[in-house]
Chain A
């Protein structure tokens, strides 16, 4: 056994208290999800240890909302995304989709369920089969699930292209004939082909140029409204996550360290890691000489995580207790959860006073530069 079996929580989990009143069942609920991979402590050493890629994440996603998941490389956000879709079955814990535990489904039931949850990956170059035309790529899901008559399928594919802002006459083209942004639109079209409820977007706009990224983000927002989609939006880009998410979860070393509504998180993060992450982000606009929090060192290896709070070796606020006791994700203010013994509740915000902000007068610049429309 790689680890002790994890008892399912019997008490009311804090996350449940975080659900909106009147929300019957959330579309997605994760209960203490863990994903451990076998790993070695050193090259050629035979003793195996559990690499805790995801280490006990609980959260829920409401219908129609966008939950952002942020964190740096190796924090487990992508693994969590794959666990949600059972592309990687979790080692322990439950993924409840529409109230149903995905682990209890038969293969046939799971196949049917998969129609309701889709994923969009970062790299549209490798996500599309280069030997298939766009039409073939988009109708594949219909063929697999035996939906519609063959003649109807191409019409459906044309409608999908139209929905994602591509020209329907390009249906016989191959992926290499499209630009990166257009290819990501094809991936999105494929994801919505089966009318899903949930889309997990794993760094879906990260490989795109700024101007193309804005176009694809707008497409995702428009489709969400039109089709009533729910998004789990995984990204390392804090700007993009703020723009698209209703709530945001911050991950560090396999754990959720903060979960909050977007506005509160960006205004005043509770966890020192979230604060450092936001502070490290380069601001738009000239240097003002303001100090930013620069964390020392790298993220520790999940093979050998630090004792107590995993963030304590890098934490500017750490105290003795942090090295010993692992903090639980707890509600510290309405709708605001953080896994920290000493959350930044009453401390004045570094963001407010010391940090420069993005310039916020671009709209006015239109007038000033004579570019007013």
Chain B
């Protein structure tokens, strides 16, 4: 196995709020191999976006990485200077956000925005950059790229705007693309186009992708390996087939069962199996396992001792005492 592109060790990111310190990320370990798509799935507040923003060092000023390492190409991004980060962001690590309308500058033409990245990071001249921008737009499947260079973002549809974001991300041939809910704002037929494009490009460019989403369907069709997050921790980490075939953590299983199915017979009473209760307050976490308040299999031990993330099957890790061999 060749060396990992990104390796996160014991990452803790906390936020100061009126209600006390919110521990959004509590000891995340994550490795992403070359050319691999790793999915990070979880619900609101699970810490998946904060993990991604920590990698890019884009957390708001009330937050801080309090512990841990983010190793990328021999550098520890958790402790990198602002200058070092400027060289990494948009260059060796690119990010695609959920809402392309807010990530694109509304008063700049598409061509200028893509060309800016090329001039800044690759030192191309203006003419060269515009030419390369046209090639990039063509590559991400935008029809008539020459004409689109002169368009403003509002003149494009949501799907086209997300293609522009992907073109910008690819501009510097990054080693890693972080895609934070890249298709959540898009309609399902457009989502299918964008997911196909991402997979195609990954094969072409050979970069790694960290895909963050709440959608189990998107994860299962796109990722190679999946990490499931709950209350700031990874509770399960496995290859996509293994995870969907045999989810080990009660939370993962509960999540999968509460998604309405497309081809199963509907239950007679039309009721979905649900995970009871609510997500715990990240400022006042209980001792022991964070899922204990909602878990149908809770044991006395879960209320005292926090389970470690441990390999229960080969290459299949889970954070649960049920699988403590």
Interface residues of A, Cβ cutoff 8 Å to B:
72-73, 179-181, 209-215, 217-218, 221-222, 236, 238-240, 242-244, 266, 276-278, 280-287, 292, 294-295, 298-299, 357-360, 362, 365-366, 368-371, 373
Contact = CB atoms under 8 A, between A and B. Distances in A.
Interface in B241-273: 241, 244-248, 250, 253-264, 266, 269-273
Contacts of B297: 371
B195 interface: yes
Given A244-B270, A282-B218, A239 B245 contact: no
A277 B247 contact: no
A292 B174 CA distance: 29
Contacts of A276: 189
Interface in B184-222: 187-193, 195-196, 214-218, 220-222
B258 A73 contact: no
B244 A285 contact: yes
Contacts of B244: 284-286, 359
B278 interface: yes
Interface in B280-304: 296-297
Given A285-B220, A369-B246, A369-B253, A214 B322 contact: no
B103 interface: no
A371 B195 CA distance: 34
A281 B215 CA distance: 11
Candidate in B193, B262, B264, B273 with the most chain A CB atoms within 10 angstroms: B262
Interface string B304-325: 0000000000000000001000
B255 A286 contact: no
A218 B296 contact: no
A328 B216 CA distance: 37
Nearest to B41: A210
A220 to B, nearest CB: 9
B190 to A, nearest CB: 7
Contacts of A287: 220-221, 240
Contacts of A368: 246
Contacts of B257: 362
A295 B259 CA distance: 25
A281 B188 contact: yes
Contacts of A222: 271
Contacts of B259: 210, 214, 239, 284
A209 B266 CA distance: 21
Given A211-B254, A283-B217, A360 B261 contact: yes
Nearest to B241: A286
The winner among A282, A294, A368, A369 for most chain B CB atoms within 10 A is: A282
Contacts of B43: 209-212
A369 B271 contact: no
Contacts of B159: 298
Contacts of B218: 282
B240 A210 contact: no
14 contacts: A72-B190, A210-B214, A214-B274, A218-B272, A242-B260, A243-B272, A278-B262, A280-B188, A284-B244, A284-B256, A287-B221, A294-B192, A295-B192, A360-B263
B261 A282 contact: no
B192 A238 contact: no
B157 interface: yes
A365 B274 CA distance: 16
